[in-house]
Amino acid sequence: MTVELSAEDKERLVQAACLARKWSYSPYSHYPVGAALLTRSGKVYDGTNIENASFPLSNCAERTAIFKAVSEGEHEFTAIAVVTANAGSPCGACRQVMAEFGLDMLVLIADADGKIHREMTVAGLLPGAFTPADLPRP
């Protein structure tokens, strides 16, 4: 069940993602991304993209935020805000990682000015997602 966020909560999450975007390490793409993840416990974890000269070793902002939260014991997420210069959408890898933790998570996609361009659930971003329910149980 998707949780409704107030306009103030959405704004707070987008602003946290805007701030995180400033810490981006993106010397190759020059495409800084910031993310802010709201957990069901009310904590916010931020993340930014971190590039590497060996491109496959780079990490996206969304996954950075999720991995930070998981490493702190959080596994239930309410919403994530993603901020790029042009309100770019999360990549496939990030969509799949989001799906691992719930298809009902709200995704806010905003531009560098903090204007939200799209709101949808992870299920809307990744229809037919492969989830833990698809794996056989022993």
Residue corresponding to tokens 């981006």: 24
**Structural contact between residues 45 and 77, judged by C-beta atoms closer than 8 angstroms:** no
Element (H, E) at 108: strand 106-110
**Structural contact between residues 21 and 48, judged by C-beta atoms closer than 8 angstroms:** yes
Is 4 among the catalytic positions? no
d(CA 60, CA 79): 17
Q: Give the active site residue among 8, 51, 62, 119.
A: 62
d(CA 7, CA 116): 11
Q: Which sequence positions are flagged as catalytic?
A: 62
